[in-house]
Amino acid sequence: MTTYTPPKVWTWDTESGGKFASINRPISGATHDKALPEGEHKFQLYSLATPNGVKATVMFEELLELGHAAEYDAWLINIGEGDQFGSGFVEINPNSKIPALLDRTGPEPVRVFESASILMHLAEKFGAFLPASGPERTEVINWLMWQMGSAPYLGGGFGHFYAYAPEKFEYPINRFAMEVKRQLHVLETTLADRPYIAGDDYTIADMAIWPWYGALAMGLLYDSAEFLSVHEYKAVRAWAEKIAERPAAQRGRRVNRVWGEETSQLRERHGPQDFER
């Protein structure tokens, strides 16, 4: 095995980086001028059906399921083609990550970026899926922040080295596999005695965690179910499958999806009729 000795000063090697090397770079900002499209609804979502993108679309569909006035346009941001570096997108999210939301319900448009921020913004606006106050609210936010801090180990850590890196290296795969299994055990012990992540009710904590760890438990992420022995986490899988049966979750997973079976895809979403096409 070749030992890597870091140089005194790091420089960017455009030839390294694996599957996503063409869109990763050490600087921020727009690479090209491109205005974002806008539809007729008050909420304009710019996203892709990655786990982070699914959080937002599931939230919108759950709000609509309850009868809230949460109609939205969902526009595709193809991160593989660098859409997130267009000038219009960078104006909404200077970090160039999906999802990003433009809320036009007030006198002036409000930009909302980071998936957890979008979930909280919508939950507070509509008074849904997040308790207004007290220990119950704190518990939901605890788990929402847990997801935001934990998922990079699953995605950028385990997912990158196990599925996307140009070569397989034992140390990082073992390191991140250990951490992901520890996180699954945290969820397993929590869900052993409660129906949802934060307690008795379905909340934005579930919507945040499900697209990542629910998909993992159901064998839908990185083709890693056998490697991680996800069958051991019975409570997590039962919780994941319960959410997967929700009509709003099923619709939310389809929005801005451009891979998989054709019936699972919905490139853009501008109204409920789009799911029938």
pLDDT for 170: 96
pLDDT for 148: 98
Domains of the chain, with CATH numbers?
Answer: 1-129 (3.40.30.10), 134-244 (1.20.1050.10)
Sheet holding 110-113, edge to edge: 72-76, 43-47, 100-103, 110-113
pLDDT for 1: 61
pLDDT for 3: 84
Q: How many CB atoms lie within 10 A of CB 147?
A: 28
pLDDT for 24: 85
pLDDT for 17: 62
Kindly give, in sequence order, each residue whose CB lies less than 8 Å from that of residue 7, ignoring residues fewer than 6 positions away. none
pLDDT for 203: 99
Residues of the chain with pLDDT under 70: 1, 15-18
Q: Residue with structure tokens 């919780």?
A: 239
pLDDT for 249: 98
Three-class SS state of 156: helix
pLDDT for 15: 64
d(CA 86, CA 94): 10
pLDDT for 23: 81
Q: Which two tokens stand for residue 261?
A: 């079976």
Q: 168: closest CA among 231, 227, 217, 211?
A: 227
C-alpha to C-alpha distances, 4 to 7, 21, 177, nearest whole angstrom? 9, 20, 22
